[in-house]
Structure 1
Amino acid sequence: MEKLFAYGNLREKDIQETVFGRILEGVPDSLVGYAVKEIKIEEEYGIDTYPIITPTQKPEDSINGILYELTLRELQLADTYEGKHYKRIQVQLKSNEVAWAFTAAT
């Protein structure tokens, strides 16, 4: 199983149903030394704003989210959902779990 730390839309049940075909079960966790910033992405209907994680290296900065276990296929579906503006990176969470998280593609 793969581990995914979600801090944005992938926590929403309707999005999970659409992307994975099921509701995910997860546990709260946090990512220390990161902050949520925003990026603007041009969509077919205009420009929209989306969250991204950015490393700050400051222990007082943290992002609350949910840690999910996914199959490799579901992780690939998450890649497709996030699209070309995001990339998947490995992070260590406050619980010491190592998980994938999405940040802005460079």
Structure 2
Amino acid sequence: MAEVLLFSYGTLQDPAVQQANFGRLLTGTPDGLTGFVIGEIEITDAEVIAESGLTHHLILHPSDGPTETIPGTVFRLTDAELAAADVYEAEDYRRVLAPLTSGLEAWVYIAA
């Protein structure tokens, strides 16, 4: 089974969201990401709100200027779990590969 890396800075770190989307709790490692600024977005999908318990989620935007390190967790997922994460993140986000402060490269969801 192939594994892919996913960096989460928001609700995918929440155990309830992991159970709802992957049917299990994920094991992760703390890491960081630079080159982006963090903001918030209003969530309108009732299922996503029910899973996260939040009406606003964090969202990243690329930055041309200096940025601070955004803390988060890097998870090892299967391809099927990554596809489930794509469904959860919906149309407000897009998935890109990005280098982490640890030197790893992982998928991360940023503003669409």
Structure 1 match to 2:37 = 35
> With structure 1 as the length reference, what TM-score do the two structures score?
0.87
CA contact (8 A) 2:18 2:25 kept: yes
Paired residue for 2:111? 104
Q: Which residue of 1 aligns with 2:14?
A: 12
Q: Which runs of 5+ in 1 are unaligned?
A: none
Aligned length: 102
Specify which structure has the higher proportion of strand.
1
Shift of 1:42: 3.4
**What runs of 5+ residues in structure 2 fail to find an aligned partner?**
47-54
What SS does the aligned partner of 1:28 have?
strand
The percentage of counterpart residues that share the same residue type is 38
**Partners of 2:45 and 2:88 in 1: CA distance:** 14
> Hey, what's the Cα distance between the residues in 2 that align with 1:73 and 1:43?
22
Question: Does residue 3 of structure 1 match 2:5?
Answer: yes
After superposition, give the CA deviation of every residue in 1:57-87 in whole Å (9 maximum; x if it has no partner).
Answer: 4455110000000000000000001111111
Q: Residue 26 of structure 2 aligns to which amino acid in structure 1?
A: L
Indicate the structure with greater helix content.
2
Structure 1 CA distance, aligned partners of 2:44 and 2:28? 31
